Amino acid sequence: MKNKTLLTVLIFITSCTIVFSQTKIKAIKAGKLIDVISGTVLNNQIILIENNKITAIGSSITIPENAEIIDLSKSTVLPGLIDCHTHLSGEPTDDYYGDIFRKTPIDYTVQAHIFTKRTLEAGFTTCRDLGSSDLIDISLRDAINNGIIEGPRMLVACFTLSSTGGHADMSGFNPAIRMNSIPDYTGVADGVDEIRKRVRNNIKWGADVIKFCATAGVLSEEESVGAPQYSLEEMKAIVDEAHMWGRKVAAHAHGTEGIKRAVIAGVNSVEHCSIVDDETVKLMKEKGTYMVPTMYALDYVIENFGKKGYPEKIINKAKSIAKQKQEGLVKIIKGGVKIAYGTDASVMPHGLNGKDFAYLVKAGMTPMQAIQSATMNAADLLDITAKTGSITVDKWADIIAVNENPINDIKVLEQVQFVMKDGVIYKNEIAK
């Protein structure tokens, strides 16, 4: 009996030793730390990390002897950034019609890991992916979560809901052209009952969020850029169904009437939100609706898509709303509407996600507010505030660093030198 007890004790001690030896402690020495919660910059902070969580922060923290020290004492440290509007399964090429008619889902899938890696190395440790064909986004999310490929943490939307002939209806320009041979493998839906079914399908397949097209858009060939494409009744059905299943709703919307309908219907965020009037701004403020700006993508279309063989109609649509979109963002910032950072990466190359910060500051946000839009605000929209969005004890160790202070020059966030996600370092190019 004594020998059996002794054996049990030895097994317990050995188990504890193994667990202890597997605990990875890291200590980051941060020269400056941007505290997005208080809106201040702290000097000479120590951040302790065990496995994937932050365990302590302060200027007088004792660093454990067995800790791996990461010297960022000459850098500015921030929470990992969050992009609330991406499409990580593709990006623009120089072959518009070839992309539509010749590439298969396999072509898009085999290159998507390049885009996820670029996005992570740009400092974005979390992304909301708002629409993908053939459930590529589901596979990407799961492959990243399982450590198969490198990339940001992803929340995905599966198929974007669209009315027939609407902005996300790519089921073929002629009935003889079959873009997808699997029945119901689409987000195209008309009428309340069909819409509810599409929402349920997306959730069944693994959607974290529901996205729909409230209006026309730029990168589709319908005549309008911003006309409504769903009735208020249909939008309410989308929102009610999604919320019943515990999913938030994002509405692609450029035109004023479509934006208003989406906000009244109860969407959680309006993407692009290009043409707004004072009534729209007031309504969004009252409802607590987030605006996700996606500014640089429009300029990228105007400057580059003509060279890529895109139809002139698409370029002209982008030009037609450019000034109004800039003016609308100024109105929205002045009106106190909540803003969460988003880029529409895929319209422009992945990895350029930091470009939108300068647009936000130019429109009237302070550099701190712009950073908050991509950290604490974005985390709030995505319902992950308890886990990320700030450098806080017990949150994920999602931490980035830049050589200069972005409060002095927001453009330094276009060149992130250090990236940690979940306590793992994916990039370290800090100048010594």
Active site residues per annotation: 211, 344
Q: How many CB atoms lie under 10 A from the CB of residue 232?
A: 16
Q: Where are the beta strands (DSSP E) in 100-184?
A: 124-129, 153-156
Give the DSSP letter of residue 332: H
User: At a CB cut-off of 8 Å and minimum separation 6, what does 229 contact?
Assistant: 162, 163, 166, 167, 213, 214, 215, 216, 258
Sign of the torsion angle spanned by Cα atoms 347, 348, 351, 356: negative
- Containing 142, the helix (H) or strand (E) segment is helix 136-145
Whole-angstrom distance, CA of residue 412 vs CA of residue 254: 30
The answer to whether 218 touches 301, Cβ cutoff 8 Å, is: yes
Whole-angstrom distance, CA of residue 78 vs CA of residue 290: 23
Whole-angstrom distance, CA of residue 137 vs CA of residue 157: 8
